[in-house]
Amino acid sequence: MEAVFESDPELFLLRIWAEPRTMPGAEAVYRGRAEHASTGRRRYVKNLTEFEDFVHECLEAVEFPAGAFEDGQRHG
């Protein structure tokens, strides 16, 4: 059995809120702010896909040791 590398965890904070709607009966619109804790980098997001994109961008900037991922890919 091979040893599994565990790097320092990357912490992300996602704040989500519903924006008030002015039209009666209109569906709620959710917004959010994503923050990468170790760098302080922030982005306002309109959906979870934008949050996922932000996480991927931040993780691409993190240097992982060679062989940290057995198949050479990061999993999300």
The residue whose two tokens read 């999993």 is 75
For residue 52, being part of any structural domain is answered with yes
Domain count, the chain: 1
For residue 58, being part of any structural domain is answered with yes
For residue 75, being part of any structural domain is answered with no
For residue 4, being part of any structural domain is answered with no
For residue 48, being part of any structural domain is answered with yes
For residue 76, being part of any structural domain is answered with no
13-67 tens-digit pLDDT: 999 998 888 888 888 888 999 999 988 999 999 988 899 999 999 988 877 666 6
Cα 6 to Cα 27: distance, rounded to the nearest angstrom:
42
Instruction: Identify the pLDDT of residue 76.
Output: 45
* Domain membership of residue 33 as a residue range: 10-19+28-70
